[in-house]
């Protein structure tokens, strides 16, 4: 049994990670300031003897004894991370410094939840880990993109300078139960609009593509990465390479939910990438991992979750 710290553990991905780590027999400390996460996401774990929930903001130092740190704390959706952009950069950068400092003191292995946003609006397609990205440093998304890029820099500098045992995963769009209903992300948006019988909003002409990874696949990859050999730092892409246009996704959601929603088109927001698709060759080679959940199965689970949430 390892003592595992999950920052951002009450969020969408973090709560699924806590579930998994407890199932694997670990002692889990979930740290969250509940900015976008909620106690509801981990309420079912509160009576577990090996689960502990701590309210804490990672921009402040933390002193705990742990063997492993999964650093997920950071709002992930544009509406949330643009709400207080200075705090978003602080969470990524000061949060990384604080968690790396903790890992250094207690000699813990530490994994950073980075993002495909480090590639910005890419000129190469699909994106491989050795592509450096095309990121606007002064735009509305920069607090997130540049914050995450700086966090990666810090991870690799701590690794080179202090010999620390680091792991970096670059997460591509992930969806599943416990996503926020109002976070403006495309999967939750479409599902909630369809369930409420509202029009489904498509930005641009709907021809821009995204690839979507189901949360269970993502968590499997993160756990494999954490337990991979000490020589392998990443960064490693984790995502589902199967691409869908926004129009295809909207039609799929509509077909699965049923109802009478119409598709409506709105202007594309600034800096919105046209296309994003992971090259997961490295994850396949080094982690023996690839996604197993198809979009229809994943959407069904997610729709069932939102249906329960909206009916509650």
Ligand X SMILES: NC(=O)c1ccc[n+]([C@@H]2O[C@H](COP(=O)([O-])OP(=O)(O)OC[C@H]3O[C@@H](n4cnc5c(N)ncnc54)[C@H](O)[C@@H]3O)[C@@H](O)[C@H]2O)c1
Query: Which residues of this protein are in contact with ligand X, per CB under 6 A?
Result: 7-8, 10-14, 32-37, 57-59, 72-76, 91, 95, 113, 115, 171, 173-174
Taking residue 52's Cβ as centre, other Cβ atoms within 10 Å add up to 17
Output 26 or 185, the one with its CB closest to ligand X.
Answer: 185
Residue 112 has φ and ψ, to the nearest 5°, of -100, 130
Residue 32 or 287: the one with the smaller Cβ distance to ligand X is: 32
- Alpha-carbon distances, residue 264 vs 188, 202, 205, 267, 275 (angstroms): 16, 6, 10, 11, 21
Minimum CB separation from ligand X for residue 255, in Å?
A: 23
Tokens of 208: 């821009």
Minimum distance between the CB of residue 85 and ligand X, rounded to whole angstroms? 13
- Rounded to a whole number of angstroms, the minimum distance from the CB of residue 197 to ligand X is 26
The count of other CB atoms within 10 Å of the CB of residue 47 is 7
Nearer to ligand X, 34 or 265 (CB): 34
**What is the β-pairing status of strands 209-211 and 27-32?**
unpaired
Nearer to ligand X, 122 or 261 (CB): 122
Q: Residue 22: helix, strand or coil by DSSP?
A: helix
Indicate which residues carry an active-site annotation.
144
CB of 10 to ligand X, least distance (A): 4
Give dist(CA 258, CA 245) in Å, integer. 20
Sign, CA dihedral 127-174-199-296, equals positive
């Amino acid at each position: 049994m390892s003592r595992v710290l999950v920052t951002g553990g009450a969020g969408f991905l973090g709560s699924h990670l806590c579930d998994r780590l407890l199932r694997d027999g670990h002692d889990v400390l979930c740290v969250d300031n509940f900015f976008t996460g909620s106690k509801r996401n981990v309420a079912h774990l509160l009576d577990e003897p090996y689960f502990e929930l701590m309210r804490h903001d990672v921009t402040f130092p933390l002193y705990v004894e742990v063997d492993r740190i999964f650093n997920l704390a950071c709002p992930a959706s544009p509406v949330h991370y643009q709400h207080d952009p200075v705090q978003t950069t602080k969470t990524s950068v000061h949060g990384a410094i604080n968690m790396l400092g903790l890992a250094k003191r207690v000699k813990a292995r530490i994994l950073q939840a980075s993002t495909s946003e480090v590639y910005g609006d890419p000129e190469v397609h699909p994106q491989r880990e050795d592509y450096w990205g095309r990121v606007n440093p002064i735009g509305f998304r920069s607090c997130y993109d540049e914050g995450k890029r700086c966090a990666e820099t810090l991870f690799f500098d701590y690794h080179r300078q202090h010999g620390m045992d680091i792991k970096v995963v670059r997460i591509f769009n992930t969806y599943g139960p416990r996503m926020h209903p109002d976070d403006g992300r495309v999967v939750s948006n479409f599902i909630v609009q369809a369930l409420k019988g509202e029009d489904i909003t498509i930005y641009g002409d709907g021809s821009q593509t995204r690839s979507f990874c189901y949360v269970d696949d993502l968590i499997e990859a993160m756990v494999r990465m954490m337990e991979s050999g000490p020589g392998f730092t990443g960064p490693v892409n984790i995502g589902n390479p199967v691409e869908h246009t926004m129009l295809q996704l909207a039609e799929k959601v509509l077909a699965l939910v049923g109802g009478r929603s119409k598709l409506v088109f709105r202007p594309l927001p600034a800096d919105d990438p046209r296309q994003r698709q992971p090259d997961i060759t490295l994850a396949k080679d080094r982690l023996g991992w690839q996604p197993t959940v198809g979009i229809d199965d994943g959407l069904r689970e997610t729709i069932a979750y939102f249906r329960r949430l909206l009916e509650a």
